[in-house]
């Protein structure tokens, strides 16, 4: 049955009270390693109440002191990063190196959020009228929540919690029930860093917990990352309930390979971007678009050669390139998509379905797969597979290649490999996606720039991290001020405007 996990609120771990639990599996073996409680609506309400009680005191805390708590938290996470990486790998199946990267990229945003004293500054205009000054201030929303996915159990919670807490809010995290242990451990480190109880909370659960957060009027904003149908549903329900919402969904990220590109560099980039973390990344490259037949033929040959040497292993194997998928359902889903691609007529150059890891036959392992001659009407092109499957879509020329990501229903990220600066500049300006890379394999921006996709990949006006995060987690108050100066103007019935104010 495994160990029993908990929730975390009020500054401590709290056992579940609903009587409902979900199994947490070891993806390497298929064994149950823990049980996580699934919160009831009443439990969620208790957490919200506790957060709402704690938030005003935190909002009144000096900005620099808030930033210092974030700084101590960053240091504590780095001191415990080996423990956290091992815990993450055990539940998710990522390699230890990949798990460490998950945590480090989350810390990048917390470090950015330490600049809250600067990022929360308002604006000031003096003498907009006779004796009149106007200034603005950014104030926290109150209680906010994040609903985060299994594939980044450290990074995405930190992306959301860091700016939210720095801005003076209380934050409630509803992590994936598939790998909840790292968020619980991070909650303990927040307290050790000096964060008051009730400001960072973890409530584990399923749809009941999510609906409770969406419907509770004390929760002022919701952030979500997951599949597009759920992102759209959460955005719609949150908005209908008067909440701010930023909801990020699926992706089908393309890599455009121009004829002048260094194909060895491209093939190496595709190996990591397409197959790293078993393809369970919203920014994974799942479609390669070589321009011209000779480019395509050469690229497929190089990928096929490299795939023969790719190592799939347990998450603790330092030589493994990637580990297992998260669940048996995920494994079957990826296998089904590969079968669909074959049925649709794509050329399966490398088939990973029969892969089995000796001694771990019940683990959720699958080998890498490579499709060639994929067309835009195929489901394996239109839909997100979320596994180690790369599709080659051959483009006749640059304009054809530009059209593919621009017309796809998803618009998360895209990258182009070329030595032609004019082509790269034109591509970056015209392609219809939210994030663009030029000669980089995964176009994830650094923590002080914004992250977010377009079209069916994102719902909401503001993105994750960067300055948008502070805009999302605060509300602007504008003050027009005049101090008595002996001026007697009498009553005015005209709307003030400009220099008549």
Residues 252-279: tens digit of each pLDDT: 999 999 999 999 999 999 999 999 999 9
* Annotated catalytic residue, options 69, 143, 156, 282: 282
Distance, in Å, from the CA atom of 264 to the CA atom of 6, rounded to the nearest integer, reads: 48
**What does the DSSP 8-state code read for residue 499?**
G
Residue 277, Ramachandran bin (φ over 0: left; ψ between -120 and 50: alpha; else beta)? left
Residue 301 makes CB contacts below 8 A (sequence gap 6+) with none
- 247 noted as active-site residue: no
**Which residues, in sequence order, are bridge partners of residue 451?**
464
Q: So what's the pLDDT on residue 500?
A: 47
Q: So what's the pLDDT on residue 498?
A: 61
Residue 142, Ramachandran bin (φ over 0: left; ψ between -120 and 50: alpha; else beta)? left
Q: So what's the pLDDT on residue 176?
A: 98
Q: Where are the domains of the chain?
A: 3-249+457-478, 253-438
Residue 422 makes CB contacts below 8 A (sequence gap 6+) with none
* Cα atoms in the 13 Å half-sphere on the side-chain side of 210: 19
Distance, in Å, from the CA atom of 258 to the CA atom of 466, rounded to the nearest integer, reads: 31
Q: Count other C-beta atoms under 10 Å from residue 88's C-beta.
A: 26
Measuring CA to CA, how many Å separate 67 from each of 108, 162, 236, 472?
Answer: 14, 10, 33, 18
Which token pair is 499?
């220099």
Q: Residue 136 above 50 pLDDT?
A: yes
CATH 3.30.479.20 fits 3-249+457-478, yes or no: no
- Helix, strand, or coil (residue 231): helix
Q: So what's the pLDDT on residue 469?
A: 96
Give the pLDDT mean for 74-97.
Answer: 98
Q: Residue 486 above 80 pLDDT?
A: no
Residues 289-316: tens digit of each pLDDT: 999 999 999 999 999 999 999 999 999 9
Residue 3 makes CB contacts below 8 A (sequence gap 6+) with 33, 34, 35
Cβ-count burial of 242 within 10 angstroms (0-12 exposed, 13-18 middle, 19+ buried)?
exposed
3-249+457-478 and 253-438, same CATH topology? no
Q: Residue 287 above 80 pLDDT?
A: yes
Residue 499: pLDDT band with limits 50, 70, 90: low
Residue 492: pLDDT band with limits 50, 70, 90: confident
- Helix, strand, or coil (residue 219): strand
Unique residue bearing structure tokens 């950014």: 138
Average pLDDT taken over every residue of the chain:
96
Residue 83 makes CB contacts below 8 A (sequence gap 6+) with 185
Q: So what's the pLDDT on residue 1?
A: 61
Q: What is the DSSP string of 400-446?
A: HHHHHHHHSSEESEEEEE-S-HHHHHHHHHH--SSEEEES-SS-PPP
Distance, in Å, from the CA atom of 188 to the CA atom of 186, rounded to the nearest integer, reads: 5
Worst-scoring range by mean pLDDT, 72-81, 217-226, 400-409, 482-491? 482-491
Q: So what's the pLDDT on residue 487?
A: 64
Q: What is the DSSP string of 174-189?
A: E--TTS-HHHHHHHHH
**Which residues, in sequence order, are bridge partners of residue 459?**
247
- Helix, strand, or coil (residue 460): coil
Q: Which helix (H) or strand (E) holds 244?
A: strand 244-248
CATH 3.40.50.300 fits 253-438, yes or no: no
Residue 495: pLDDT band with limits 50, 70, 90: confident
Residue 388 makes CB contacts below 8 A (sequence gap 6+) with 274, 275, 278, 279, 322, 334, 352, 366, 367, 368, 369
């Amino acid at each position: 049955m495994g160990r029993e996990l908990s929730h975390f609120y009020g500054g401590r771990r709290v056992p579940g009270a609903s009587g409902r639990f979900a199994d947490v599996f070891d993806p390497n073996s298929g064994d149950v390693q823990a049980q996580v409680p699934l919160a009831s609506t009443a439990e969620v309400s208790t957490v919200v109440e506790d957060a709402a009680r704690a938030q005003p005191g935190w909002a009144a805390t000096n900005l620099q002191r808030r930033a210092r708590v974030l700084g101590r938290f960053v240091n504590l996470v780095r001191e415990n990063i080996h423990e956290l990486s091992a815990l993450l790998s055990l539940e998710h199946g990522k390699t230890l190196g990949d798990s460490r990267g998950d945590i480090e990229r989350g810390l990048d945003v917390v470090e950015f959020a330490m600049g809250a004293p600067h990022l929360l500054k308002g604006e000031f205009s003096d003498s907009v009228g006779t004796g009149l000054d106007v200034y603005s201030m950014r104030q926290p929303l109150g209680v906010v929540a994040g609903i985060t996915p299994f594939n980044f159990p450290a990074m995405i919670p930190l992306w959301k919690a860091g700016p939210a807490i720095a801005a003076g809010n209380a934050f409630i995290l509803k992590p994936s029930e598939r790998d909840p242990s790292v968020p619980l451990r991070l909650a303990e480190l927040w307290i050790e860093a000096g964060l008051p109880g009730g400001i960072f909370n973890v409530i584990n659960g399923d749809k009941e917990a999510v609906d409770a957060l969406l419907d509770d009027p004390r929760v002022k904003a919701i952030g979500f990352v997951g599949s597009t149908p759920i992102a759209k549903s959460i955005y719609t329900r949150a908005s209908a309930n008067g909440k701010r919402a930023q909801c990020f969904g699926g992706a089908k990220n393309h890599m455009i390979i121009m004829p002048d590109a260094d194909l060895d560099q491209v093939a190496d980039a595709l190996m990591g971007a397409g197959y790293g973390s078993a393809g369970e990344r919203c920014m994974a490259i799942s479609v390669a678009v070589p321009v011209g037949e000779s480019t395509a033929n050469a690229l497929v040959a190089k990928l096929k050669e490299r795939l023969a040497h790719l190592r799939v292993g347990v998450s603790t194997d330092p030589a493994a390139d990637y580990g297992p998928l998260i669940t048996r359902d995920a494994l079957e889903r990826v296998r089904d998509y590969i079968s669909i691609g074959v049925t649709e007529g794509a050329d399966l150059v490398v088939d990973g379905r029969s892969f089995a890891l000796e001694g771990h036959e019940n683990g959720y392992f699958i080998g890498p797969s490579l499709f060639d001659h994929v067309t835009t009407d195929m489901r394996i092109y239109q839909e997100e597979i979320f596994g180690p499957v790369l599709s080659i879509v051959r483009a006749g020329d640059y304009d054809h290649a530009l059209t593919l990501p621009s017309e796809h229903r998803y618009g998360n990220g895209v990258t182009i490999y070329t030595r032609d600066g004019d082509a790269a500049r034109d591509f970056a300006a015209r392609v219809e996606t939210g994030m663009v890379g030029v000669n980089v394999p995964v176009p994830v921006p650094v923590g002080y720039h914004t992250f977010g996709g377009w079209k069916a990949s994102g719902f909401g006006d503001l993105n994750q991290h960067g300055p948008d995060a502070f805009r999302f987690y605060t509300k602007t108050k504008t003050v027009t001020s005049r101090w008595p100066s002996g001026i007697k103007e009498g009553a005015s019935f005209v709307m003030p405007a400009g220099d008549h104010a």
